[in-house]
Structure 1
């Protein structure tokens, strides 16, 4: 009977919080509603959340549901915009250079970096042609049509389009349905939602960058303006180094990784990837040991779940091999007591704010230690929220004892302002995954870190995945404020990602994500991450060494307290 009702009930979630219900013609796409409500939003609406599931604007509901507009101030909306931009770039490159393949490699500088594969170098003239053709496509507001087909049908279509490897990748999915998107003659699959037509992609910038193309887009702070173009030479280098590592391991995408797993050769990938980590850490330790006077303080910083703790432990071992005896000081022990902790806009304690740390005391202790004096290191009691002093915490160091400090503010000069820059060695650690799904569908480092954190929070903190995903936007905001602006201050960067890790962590993360109920606000995000993991063949963790950075998240680390 319900299936014949001409109208259904919508519960509409508004940005002002005054939610309401209304009747809706079941044959009318929700894009009509989005157009009607756009004036209430300060950024373009690019997608919908229907019963906590992300849908494209053309979605037509056939039953009562809860609907929320997704604009570009939301992380999900910005992702829709970026993926749509990538799709149009891929189409443009296929039209202009059909004999070559464009590969979108990684996120960079509020955008993404891509290269035209082949021996012929990319020229300014080629970039200009891409820029002009892409703008023509966007001005024409050409439709981006979505169809949901069976996995077998999608493989057939992709093979017919000359995309054999992409078709083969779909073979590994357990999901029986695939989203295909078509714009003009170009067709590709994507688990991400795209905008319904190219005319919605109005703000972007295409630049020639190194040997490829940097395509920049707005961030969530201002959807109509491009953020400042901050050159990120060091971060670019570490991404390019990651590509070199992928060539050494001979794994560029999930299809190649899965082939290793199918042949029973995953152990070789694990050993090479871990050896690359060990070699890089040893090189960093050698550099420090060659100039110890320039590394009285070793400051290690990076975003959440980048593996800073294990990296610091492995660096200590390599420094000892070089004849140094590093001492670790925990930045957390210099937190102000609760009554002096700053609060955020919601009135909650803001432990990520730099003013949550007693920098005056911290700098006083550092200068005394470097001068050879003894100091009593405080202890922060997280149960009482108070700073304490305990017996046996007096520290005094020698000239061959660098101080290792790990924390999110390590690259910010304001943290250690009383110590000369010439005495500090700064290291930025992040997980920049070297493997992508295919040429167009790149895996963001943010997603790799989220999956790491979900696994770690469950195993070591008894936090459900739902809680981790719920606070993840707040964590990301803290990173944008306190970590990413300072990453180019690093003397060296270390990529903690392991090319094989999604295939291992999948076993741990999937059941945690599946446990998130449909009524949860983060259900759609959980489903998106599950779709990503669905492409990977499982790799057993037995061959992973106890000192691996991945052990920090899945357990079995030799550095666990």
Structure 2
């Protein structure tokens, strides 16, 4: 097994190193690594190659190699190299390497809990991400099921952390095996893990991959590291009624600082509690609801809740006498539809909203700044004509009639089409855009006039008890579908520019989120089942030789967990319509 120590590995490594010498021994295969051809014996694993490279040149990969991309396909290090393959090793700071690292930490945490509790009366549930960590709860097994252990003692968390560190030092292999899906379901049923049972009920594959660590077996969405020796950098800290599993981010051998965004956390907790009240805490539970014919009621309930929240927000804006509503959030959060729906609620209260999209203030494409890779950075504040925006707003509040711009995404130019605006005493500007909370954007508007709203699609569902569903994946699927429909952009193009989008969010949006007066979760509990209908064909169209294929394949695997949801019961003012089409708003 990859990562296992012993005489067998020593013999293989002797053979591997002998191939580096010029001699009579025949070379079996050639592979390309980072543009250079290397020779290895047939049957050599990626793990062996990675060890040979890093031992020969420790500076080749300053961070630990945890995964690989082979011919645009993700591969675990147990993969045996084959003739002609192009290999790119991924470390714990690469996007997919980071995912494998964090996923594997969850299994290590479970196995450490089993060492502390051999009778397996303790189960750790991963609730959702927060900063560079996962918020977790501890449950105790009782006769009638699992019960939340609220506010676990710091001593227990410290013991769990110490046990994880000890197991990391032992470099224990993580063993992958393929098991009959029916047997896997039976195993999880005996363990009382109902979310996993529901998830696998809709799995068509006859076999499922399980990962074992010291007798602890689990299913994970995605690839894993080969052994615990690669999992040395993490921390556990008590937090509210649970604890945080913290991990590295930009530096693979240093745990990222934890500065909790409490407003964001409270929104996530409320959304999760609401999903639980609907009996839909996980993907499998959603699939159960679809299969049993409950999805129409769930759609209606979700939309009613969202409308109630927006209406209450409109009342608070009016009560505080604010004249400018600044709406900001990361890409594909549904800012445009939200601004229209908030405007409708303001109208119902006797005020006149004026939607004011910041996208209209993009500079001409030739003036958009470049990111570090030389690509157009449309997420940068400098991509907007900030001076023109402030001049227009200043003129409006001075009572002037202002001709407003519009941006043509096809031509990449700003245009004017007789779109005039003039404000009255009961008029409110509703301004949406990714930089809405940044005072550098709205420097001419007094703070007393502004009401700041942060909006993001914070997915309420988990894949199961131990696998959180990425909020970022939900937004990426939204953007793939919308960009193809409104901008003629292929899924491959959207995937390729997504890293740049994310960098822009980290520098221009997330640092300002806690400055918001209010936060709004735009995720719909049912939405990925709807997006599946539109996203799958776009993702399948990506060629296997395309660099975006690995990400497309990963997203297709995610969508495979969801049953598809027809769209006829979705209202034309629903936020999801901004992405799939059919909205009554101009979005």
- The question of a shared fold, defined as TM-score above 0.5 by the shorter chain, is answered with yes
Residues 460-480 of structure 1: per-residue CA shift (max 9 Å, x gap): 323222222122112111111
Residues 92-125 of structure 1: per-residue CA shift (max 9 Å, x gap): 3344453243211111111111112324422222
Contact 1:298 1:405 in 2 (8 A): yes
What residue is the counterpart of 2:545 in the other structure?
519
What residue is the counterpart of 1:56 in the other structure?
76
Contact 1:178 1:191 in 2 (8 A): no
Task: Return the offset for 1:149.
Answer: 3.1
Q: Determine helix, strand or coil for the equivalent of 2:441.
A: helix
Structure 1: 5+ residue runs without aligned partners?
A: none
What residue is the counterpart of 2:392 in the other structure?
365
Task: Return the offset for 1:164.
Answer: 5.5
Structure 2 CA distance for partners of 1:381 and 1:533, relative to 1, 3 Å: closer
TM, length-normalised to structure 2: 0.88
What residue is the counterpart of 1:259 in the other structure?
288
What residue is the counterpart of 2:201 in the other structure?
171
Residues 183-210 of structure 1: per-residue CA shift (max 9 Å, x gap): 1121101131111111211222211111
Aligned with residue 171 of structure 2, among 141, 152, 155: 141
Structure 2 CA distance for partners of 1:276 and 1:66, relative to 1, 3 Å: same
Q: Tell me if 1:423 matches 2:437.
A: no
Q: Which moved further from structure 2: 395-404 or 182-191?
A: 395-404
Q: Tell me if 1:324 matches 2:346.
A: no
Q: How far apart are the structure 1 equivalents of 2:283 and 2:368?
A: 45
Structure 2 CA distance for partners of 1:174 and 1:138, relative to 1, 3 Å: same
Residues 208-259 of structure 1: per-residue CA shift (max 9 Å, x gap): 111111112111x322223332220111011111112112322101221122
Which residues in structure 2 correspond to 1:370-409 (within 5 Å)?
Answer: 370-380=397-407, 382=409, 385-387=412-414, 392-409=418-435
Aligned with residue 21 of structure 1, among 20, 33, 37: 37
What residue is the counterpart of 1:89 in the other structure?
109
Q: How far apart are the structure 1 equivalents of 2:259 and 2:30?
A: 47
Q: How far apart are the structure 1 equivalents of 2:130 and 2:477?
A: 20
Q: Which moved further from structure 2: 310-319 or 368-377?
A: 368-377
Q: How far apart are the structure 2 equivalents of 1:339 and 1:261?
A: 48
Q: Which moved further from structure 2: 298-307 or 54-63?
A: 54-63
Task: Return the offset for 1:163.
Answer: 4.0
Q: Tell me if 1:487 matches 2:513.
A: yes
Residues 355-394 of structure 1: per-residue CA shift (max 9 Å, x gap): 222323322332332343433334445566555555x334
Q: Determine helix, strand or coil for the equivalent of 2:355.
A: strand
Contact 1:296 1:370 in 2 (8 A): no
What residue is the counterpart of 1:130 in the other structure?
160
What residue is the counterpart of 1:547 in the other structure?
573
Task: Return the offset for 1:421.
Answer: 1.7
Contact 1:427 1:491 in 2 (8 A): yes
Q: How far apart are the structure 1 equivalents of 2:110 and 2:428?
A: 49
What residue is the counterpart of 1:107 in the other structure?
129
Task: Return the offset for 1:407.
Answer: 0.9
Contact 1:81 1:201 in 2 (8 A): yes
Q: How far apart are the structure 1 equivalents of 2:412 and 2:224?
A: 46
Structure 2 CA distance for partners of 1:376 and 1:429, relative to 1, 3 Å: same
Residues 251-294 of structure 1: per-residue CA shift (max 9 Å, x gap): 101221122112111111111111111111111111112112xx
Q: How far apart are the structure 1 equivalents of 2:416 and 2:540?
A: 44
What residue is the counterpart of 1:235 in the other structure?
264
Q: How far apart are the structure 1 equivalents of 2:328 and 2:169?
A: 43
Q: How far apart are the structure 2 equivalents of 1:135 and 1:226?
A: 14
Q: Which moved further from structure 2: 40-49 or 366-375?
A: 366-375
Task: Return the offset for 1:62.
Answer: 4.4
Which residues in structure 2 correspond to 1:37-76 (within 5 Å)?
Answer: 37-38=53-54, 39-76=59-96
What residue is the counterpart of 1:226 in the other structure?
255
TM, length-normalised to structure 1: 0.92
Q: Determine helix, strand or coil for the equivalent of 1:541.
A: coil
Aligned with residue 138 of structure 2, among 116, 139, 142: 116
Residues 28-62 of structure 1: per-residue CA shift (max 9 Å, x gap): 21112112333312322110111211111121134
Contact 1:90 1:440 in 2 (8 A): no
What residue is the counterpart of 1:7 in the other structure?
28
Q: How far apart are the structure 1 equivalents of 2:367 and 2:480?
A: 31
Q: Which moved further from structure 2: 339-348 or 498-507?
A: 339-348
Task: Return the offset for 1:485.
Answer: 1.4
Q: How far apart are the structure 1 equivalents of 2:407 and 2:197?
A: 54
Structure 2 CA distance for partners of 1:283 and 1:37, relative to 1, 3 Å: farther
Q: Determine helix, strand or coil for the equivalent of 1:34.
A: helix
Q: How far apart are the structure 2 equivalents of 1:91 and 1:279?
A: 43
Structure 2: 5+ residue runs without aligned partners?
A: 1-25, 140-146
Task: Return the offset for 1:500.
Answer: 1.1
